[in-house]
């Protein structure tokens, strides 16, 4: 807080009148404990403070960023931005900066965690796996965010997070599990370890099966993959502007069982409650009973589409990327994992997907692979582990009308290809999912 106040007060002296200026800082303490071969081999902690300076002058915009320790003086930093702004192209879509009425005070004096506390969580994970080989990490973070602009806005917020992610391996199999929360106390690392152990132990000596369309039961990480791709490439209003979004607002595009909420103010949610501009986020109904209700907007996209800003500009990504939901909750259903499996005549249980790539953004056809625990389901029971499969599937269709059979009753923060803690999801039971081959095709 002291570094921010000192830097800001010094910077204000050198900002010319008649320009728009925004200064923001994120200061973080990121702590990490890594383990491999069932032993901790690394404890690291990094404390950083990054400054972002945006200047809009004479219809031109420039943003510079640097670590605060690399800035010799605020005056030189601002002078450099003023010169570079003159040489920048015209910014015809400049949306302006939020006013003072959007200010938010959420800064708290949060402390980092001791490595011994993370080591205890790692030990619980490893011991749950008995004699199997374990690898992974346990991390904790404390993040503080400060924003000021020439319109009078002054905002701040603080947040903490903790994660454990680990894997057990045998000669022929692997099983992984992930947990996230606000604090280490909320992380059940023993449950995560037991889940990873069971997946690895039970999936030894997998067998190849024929590709085709299968009923599937998806674990939270697999569900998270589908939803994060839809969020980044579908519900992002920038995709709508570019003509690549498949989302059609107010139409029955998804199964009626599907309801998505973006809620930064939910109890124990992760991440900041302000967006990158310093404005408070809002609770947003994204999909209600299968009907898309809103895109994720930033100041820029809301101006271009003449729609209400939903405050989803993400710090560090820049407003040119568009809006991303970072507190997405999939409403749970009432089915347990065992009940889902018991209802499948022939299908596949999939723990997680990986190496996923969009083939067609308009239809949201994505290709990828399964890993870390997949099983054939026959007549309501897991009968044998299955090998690597390639899927080629429209994520829109996978959640389409009539394709969601049931939704799990328990939710948790799941990992995603765009970061941890973004999605809180249950399992899904889908009627049909298209597998097109093995790992090589």
- pLDDT tens, residue by residue, 361-372: 999 999 999 999
Phi and psi at residue 362, to the nearest 5°: -65, -40
Please give the pLDDT value at position 1.
64
Please give the pLDDT value at position 419.
85
Flag whether pLDDT at 441 surpasses 60: no
Q: Are 346 and 214 in contact (CB under 8 A)?
A: yes
Mean pLDDT of 287-293: 98
State how far the Cα of 312 lies from the Cα of 72, in Å rounded to an integer: 32
Please give the pLDDT value at position 109.
80
Flag whether pLDDT at 401 surpasses 80: yes
Flag whether pLDDT at 440 surpasses 70: no
Q: How much is the mean pLDDT over the chain?
A: 95
Please give the pLDDT value at position 202.
96
Quick one: which of 385, 388, 382 has its CA closest to 353? Answer: 388
Please give the pLDDT value at position 438.
79
DSSP state of 68: G
Domain boundaries for CATH 3.30.2290.10 within the chain: 2-191
Cβ neighbors of 68 (< 8 A, separation 6 or more) are 3, 7, 25, 49, 50, 51
CATH assignment of 2-191, among 3.30.2290.10, 3.30.565.10, 3.40.250.10, 3.40.50.300? 3.30.2290.10
Q: Are 294 and 310 in contact (CB under 8 A)?
A: yes
CA dihedral 230, 284, 321, 84 (to 10 degrees): -170
Please give the pLDDT value at position 3.
87
Mean pLDDT of 391-417: 96
Mean pLDDT of 286-309: 96
148-202 residue pLDDT tens = 999 999 999 999 999 999 999 999 999 999 999 999 999 999 999 999 999 999 9
Percent of the chain clearing pLDDT 90 (strictly above)? 92
Task: Output the CA angle 26-66-418, nearest 5 degrees.
Answer: 55
Please give the pLDDT value at position 318.
64
Please give the pLDDT value at position 290.
98
More confident call, 315 vs 145: 145
Task: Please say whether the dihedral angle defined by the alpha carbons of residues 195, 196, 202 and 203, taken in this order, is positive or negative.
Answer: positive
């Amino acid at each position: 807080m002291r570094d921010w106040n000192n830097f800001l007060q010094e910077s204000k002296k050198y900002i010319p009148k008649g320009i728009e200026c925004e200064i923001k800082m994120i200061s973080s303490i990121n702590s990490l404990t890594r383990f491999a071969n069932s032993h901790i081999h690394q404890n690291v902690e990094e404390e950083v403070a990054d400054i972002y300076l945006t200047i809009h002058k004479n219809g031109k915009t420039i943003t510079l960023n640097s670590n605060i320790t690399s800035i010799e003086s605020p005056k030189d930093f601002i002078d450099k931005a003023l010169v570079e702004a003159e040489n920048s192209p015209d910014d015809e879509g400049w949306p302006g900066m939020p006013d003072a009425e959007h200010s938010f005070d959420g800064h708290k004096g949060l402390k980092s965690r001791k490595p011994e506390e993370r080591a205890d969580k790692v030990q619980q994970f490893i011991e749950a796996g008995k004699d199997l080989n374990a690898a992974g990490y346990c991390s904790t973070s404390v993040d503080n965010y400060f924003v000021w602009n020439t319109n009078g806005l002054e905002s701040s917020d603080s947040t903490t997070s903790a994660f454990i992610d680990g894997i057990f391996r045998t000669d022929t199999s692997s099983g992984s599990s992930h947990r996230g929360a606000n604090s280490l106390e909320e992380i059940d690392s023993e449950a995560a370890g037991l889940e990873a152990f069971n997946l690895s132990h039970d999936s030894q000596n997998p067998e190849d099966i024929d590709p085709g369309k299968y009923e599937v039961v998806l674990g939270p990480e697999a569900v998270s993959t589908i939803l994060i791709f839809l969020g980044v490439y579908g519900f992002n209003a920038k995709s709508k502007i570019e003509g690549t979004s498949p989302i059609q607002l107010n139409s029955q595009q998804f199964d009626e069982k599907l309801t998505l909420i973006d809620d930064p103010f939910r109890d124990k949610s992760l991440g900041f409650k302000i967006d990158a501009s310093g404005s408070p986020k809002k609770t947003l109904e994204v999909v209600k009973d299968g009907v898309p209700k809103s895109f994720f907007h930033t100041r820029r996209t809301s101006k271009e589409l003449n729609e209400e800003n939903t405050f989803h500009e993400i710090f560090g990504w820049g407003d040119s990327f568009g809006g991303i939901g970072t507190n997405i909750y999939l409403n749970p259903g009432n089915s347990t994992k065992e009940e889902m499996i018991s209802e499948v005549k022939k299908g596949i249980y999939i723990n997680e997907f990986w190496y996923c790539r969009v083939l067609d953004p308009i239809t949201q056809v994505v290709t990828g692979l399964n890993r870390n625990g997949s099983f054939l389901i026959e007549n309501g029971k897991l009968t044998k582990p299955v090998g690597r499969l390639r899927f080629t599937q429209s994520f829109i269709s996978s959640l389409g009308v009539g394709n969601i059979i049931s939704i799990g009753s328990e939710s948790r923060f799941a990992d995603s290809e765009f970061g941890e803690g973004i999605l809180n999801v249950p399992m899904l039971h889908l009627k049909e999912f298209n597998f097109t081959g093995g790992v090589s095709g």
